[in-house]
A = this chain, B = another copy of it.
Amino acid sequence: LVDRAVTQIVTPGTVVDDELLSPGSTNYVACVASADSTDSDESDDSAHHAVAAVDVSTGECLVTSAADPERALEELQRVAPAEIVVGPNARVDPAALDGDAMRTEFDPDVFASSAARSTLKKYVPRPDAVVGNDAELRAVGALLAYAEYTQGDETLDYVSRIQRYDPRDGLRLDATALRSLELFESQGPSNGPTLFDVLDDTACALGRRRLQQWLRRPLVDRERIDARLDAVDELTSRSLVREDLHDHLRDVYDVERLVARVSRGRANARDLRSLKATLDVVPDVKDALEDADCDRLLSLRDSLDELDDVRDLIGRAIASDPPMEITEGGVIEEGFDAELDDLRATEREGRQWVADLESSERERTGIDSLSVGHNQVHGYYIEVTNANLDSVPDDYTRRQTLKNSERFYTPELKRREDEIFGASERADALEYELFREVRGDVGEESERIQSVADALATIDVLTTLASVAVENDYTRPELGADGIAIDGGRHPVVERQQDSFVPNPTDLTESRLALVTGPNMSGKSTYMRQVALIVVLAQVGSFVPANAARLPVVDRVFTRVGASDDIAGGQSTFMREMSELTTILHHATENSLVLLDEVGRGTSTTDGLAIARATTEFLHDEVGATTLFATHYHELTAVADDLPGVQNLHFTVERGDRSDDESNTPNGDADSDVTFLHRVAEGASSSSYGVEVARMAGVPSSVVARSEELVADSQSGDESGANSATA
């Protein structure tokens, strides 16, 4: 009944089987294309490198472009595709990408503008109204051509929402920042928790994917951010509504993928039933939002189409607990189709007649051991043991001889058999026909269903953000401030791993550049990341882990943080460090947030200090970016005296009381001498904690004593040193 042929090519980016996809994750195949450089008529100079991506399992499709190939690469990185189709002459190099996306070669002809336009025309009436420029047209057109190719050269009707966006509408987070802030992947040796893990309390796969998208691309538009914050705010105060929504959304299936399957003609009856179960939730969700106040929630509520027609159709047509197979009957509900009902009645009556036959024949023949059976090869039979063969009536015809018995049929049994099987076969075929009709009808409504899915996804994320805020005691950030001012800020991930996390304030309003000193383990890195994460969370539209937070809208977060030494050989940490620094110094603006953790470590202290100081001055004088700069160069802290916008912060350490003979403390007995308070304070760190740690580690006491002596000596000569550095 089913035609079988190679109808689908499975590649990492175009998988659609649920078994091969993780439930709440996007799975994009992306495409990069550059506008032909000989196209001199290309007027928009800012649109030469395009990235398009489609999730074939859900139909979501994105396209964007940038003038700078690096910028396009950044967008490609955010999409985190499983597979990349690279256009001819594309000047975006996916080899520079993090992760292990497969690179696919595909027919270069599909990248031609005209070919791309005609591909795209199958999806949207006016292709040029959807894309922003020629590179985008090529990228999305070629991408869809590739997607069609993998899915058996059929138009993918469910790819109806091609979203074009401007990369400038999002907070920029390059690969380095995504990695070092551990938004999605832990940097630690053991796969530790990430920001996403902390936030992910979503009820359904739709919400989980949406949360990923939001986190990957925080906003820069204050109105949009505030709209989200309003909604989260309202939900934080309504715990019953929140619980209600969460409970209902738990029953939501992955509608995006279901609808895509429906449209591809690959959905079975169970999929349709799952779709209905999801749609049944919609009225409840609308009810829960009945008293919603804020615009965002109201518009979400209003956008929830209850889709009564679709629900009714599925409810009437599809059996409530259908089998996996759609060709063997049992998928269509009784009462939906009169002809089917007739056929099923015929079949039922016939089977009943056969079921009654055994007792009636026993009675007629007087053979108590007579039995009626059925097998695949011979059909129905009446079986009589050899001992009773004498009692067999004349109308019995021999069908099969066994060792101890014979099997017979009668003309009536034969007639009934033909009737039953004929009806059954026709009914199965009819059910399959009807099912395909229903599936087709539902598929026609895929756009409406997708927009319901869209609203449900957003409601799930907003509810989740509210729950997480309540659970973890987050606060609503105030956006639009002139500088970062955080009261009692916490690191959202680290605070969940520790019993008592010490909150710390941040004030980067007057002095926007802070030099952070203090020993290792004291909390510098955590502190810097916590500030960046609070900024990111706020621009996602989430509450933030702090008592209060007034924040600017940041255009980009830069990070230059501890890279691991490549001790195997050639590759230089310092060169990489300088490259990262270069990116920051060239691209940061006064609206950027810059995290620098140890600049200049991989070279001589003289050079390192000089570079660190020159960098500080440049960021202060030329760029004006909000900056947190952790350093072991205590000499650098003198800069704060010279530059008005530079402040010093340090992490405090408490020294235990020790008797006078401290240099004679035996090894290993000094463990309690230093306590890390993880508390930030104003001013530069001064004490020699490094020597304390050496003592704690058991370094011979004579070495510790000599170190202390040397530190004291150098501090007494410090004035001249500091002067020479600030001259």
Contact = CB atoms under 8 A, between A and B. Distances in A.
Interface of A: 180, 182, 186-189, 192, 494, 497, 517, 519-521, 525-526, 561-570, 572-575, 578-579, 581-582, 585-586, 597, 600-611, 613-615, 617-618, 622, 632-635, 667, 685, 688-691, 693-694, 696-700, 702-704, 706-711, 713-717, 720-721, 723-725, 727
Contact of A605 (B605, B716, B723): B605
B615 A703 contact: yes
B724 A714 contact: yes
Given A690-B604, A703-B618, A723-B717, A565 B563 contact: yes
A263 B473 CA distance: 69
Contacts of A699: 578, 581-582, 585, 611
A194 B234 CA distance: 61
Contacts of A574: 519-521, 690, 693
Contacts of A570: 521
Contacts of A566: 188-189
A598 B104 CA distance: 44
Contacts of A608: 632, 690
Classify the interface of chain A: helix, strand, loop or mixed.
Answer: helix
Given A697-B582, A714-B725, A622 B575 contact: no
Given A699-B585, A706-B618, A568 B188 contact: yes
25 contacts: A497-B569, A521-B572, A525-B567, A564-B564, A575-B696, A578-B699, A582-B667, A585-B699, A585-B700, A601-B632, A604-B633, A605-B635, A606-B714, A606-B715, A607-B688, A610-B707, A610-B709, A610-B710, A614-B710, A617-B706, A618-B702, A713-B725, A716-B724, A717-B724, A720-B724
Contacts of A667: 582
B618 A578 contact: no
Given A581-B694, A601-B632, A607-B711, 6 more contacts: A192-B569, A520-B573, A606-B688, A713-B724, A714-B724, A717-B724
Contacts of A562: 565, 567
Given A525-B569, A566-B188, A721-B717, A582 B708 contact: no
A585 B635 CA distance: 29
Please give the count of copies of this chain that the complex contains.
2
Contacts of A605: 605, 609, 632-635
Contact of A607 (B609, B690, B697): B690
B707 A604 contact: no
A710 B685 CA distance: 22
A690 B611 contact: yes
Nearest to A720: B720
Nearest to A561: B567
A572 B494 CA distance: 15
A179 B518 CA distance: 31
Contacts of A582: 667, 697-700
Nearest 10 A/B pairs, CB to CB: A607-B690, A603-B690, A188-B568, A717-B724, A578-B697, A564-B564, A610-B710, A614-B706, A562-B565, A521-B572
A501 B582 CA distance: 31
Nearest to A716: B724
B187 A567 contact: yes
Contact of A180 (B567, B572, B614, B685): B567
A487 B716 CA distance: 44
Contacts of A707: 607, 610-611, 613-614
A269 to B, nearest CB: 45
Contact of A603 (B189, B520, B696): B520
Contacts of A526: 569
A565 B568 contact: no
A672 to B, nearest CB: 15
Contacts of A561: 567
A713 to B, nearest CB: 5
Contact of A568 (B187, B575, B602): B187
Contact of A610 (B632, B633, B714): B714
Contacts of A586: 698, 700
A623 to B, nearest CB: 10
B581 A697 contact: yes
A610 B716 CA distance: 14
A569 B494 contact: yes
A685 B186 CA distance: 39
Contact of A708 (B521, B602, B610): B610
Contacts of A727: 713, 717
A529 to B, nearest CB: 9
Nearest to A619: B703
Contacts of A617: 703, 706
A600 B714 CA distance: 16
